[in-house]
Amino acid sequence: MTPADLSRSVVRAVRCAVEDGELPAGVVVPERVVVERTRPGGVGDYASPVAFGVGKGAGVAPRGVAEVLAPRLAALPGIERVEVTGAGFLNFVLAGSSVGEVVRDVRARGRRYGFAPDGEPRERVVRDAVQRIEWCQAAQSQAARSQGRTAGGGPVAVAPVAKRDGDVLGRYGADAAAWAMLCVPAHETPVFPAWLLVQDESSEFFRVRYAHGRARALTRNAGQLGVCAEPGEVEEGSADVLLGALVDYPLVLEAAAHHRAPERLVRHLVVLADALLEFQYCVLPKGDEKPSAAHRARLALAEAAGTVLAGGLALLGIDAPDHL
């Protein structure tokens, strides 16, 4: 079970509890439930404050709501344990996602990994953000500016680029400029530091695209060695950070769409890229080492990470070159 699946499972649990009479009929079933990584000192892998919102609307103590939902959720496949803490926080311990399971999911979905289950992609919100940023750079009429119109027709509050930055698209290129504009919340004024144009690992923008390029290079190099990617398990501890970033990716997309905050996706791509760049050194055989099932599984994991990086960059409107 992915974190995004968990969020939807909690919504279903609330709905079923109301239908079965375990929660009052006046309870309003939320459209979306916040599920976050457990904070330091917390219990389990993920936590949700859903009981507080549900309880407040129905005049029920949050802990009572949580105690109704906990056994329902604990019975679901992929959830190992559910604990209620404090005044009504739900804490989840998920059954461990195997590397092969996650990799097969990414391979099956490709760049659509993490999209909504109904098939409607999440990129609409992210693309709207890009369009709003492009709009605020264009020579639109003062009337349109004062009304705050966007391509989506809704009001926004996007901080403009400072005049001193001049033609940022011409100076930095469309991809680097888009990265700078999207890596901060919409209400903050973007800055265009010198590292945007630096082609080394001191630049987050470079690292994300470079990590994608490294994934593609690993595939090319593996072909020369006769190694084919095959989803499977990877040695414990060697890929924990990378696997965690892949598992969390659908939840990040959901949160970015819900909060209209593409900067969340930007931050997560940096985490994923850094994990892949660290992992790359153990993917292929070294020296006289013979190719093994372990190498094929590591290669499949690296390729999956590259696919997700390409998909994330595409949502931001940024190119993911194979060579960098």
Query: For residues 276 and 305, is the Cβ–Cβ distance under 8 A?
Result: yes
Query: For residues 103 and 231, is the Cβ–Cβ distance under 8 A?
Result: yes
DSSP letters spanning 248-304: HHHHHHHHHHHTT-HHHHHHHHHHHHHHHHHHGGGTS--TTPPP-HHHHHHHHHHHH
Among 257, 228, 137, 122, residue whose Cα is nearest residue 190: 137
Q: Please return the burial class of 48, using the count of CB atoms within 10 Å of its CB with bins 0-12, 13-18 and 19+.
A: buried
CA angle 257, 245, 260 (to 5 degrees): 10
Q: Tell me, what's the pLDDT at 162?
A: 57
Q: Tell me, what's the pLDDT at 62?
A: 93
Q: Tell me, what's the pLDDT at 207?
A: 96
Question: What residues contact 307, with CB distance under 8 A and at least 6 apart?
Answer: 106, 107, 110, 111, 113, 215
Q: What is the C-alpha separation between 41 and 170, in angstroms, rounded? A: 48
Q: How far is CA 205 from CA 195, 213, 261, 283, in A?
A: 8, 13, 18, 24
- Predicted model pTM: 0.74
Walk along the chain (324 residues) and give the pLDDT tens digit of each residue. 777 788 889 999 999 999 999 998 888 888 888 888 887 777 888 999 999 989 887 788 999 999 999 999 999 988 999 999 999 999 999 887 678 888 998 999 898 888 765 544 334 444 555 454 345 445 433 333 334 433 344 444 566 665 445 577 788 888 998 899 899 888 888 888 888 888 998 899 999 999 999 999 999 999 999 999 999 999 878 899 999 999 889 888 888 887 778 999 999 999 999 999 999 999 999 988 999 999 999 999 999 999 999 999 988 889 999 987
Q: Please return the burial class of 157, using the count of CB atoms within 10 Å of its CB with bins 0-12, 13-18 and 19+.
A: exposed
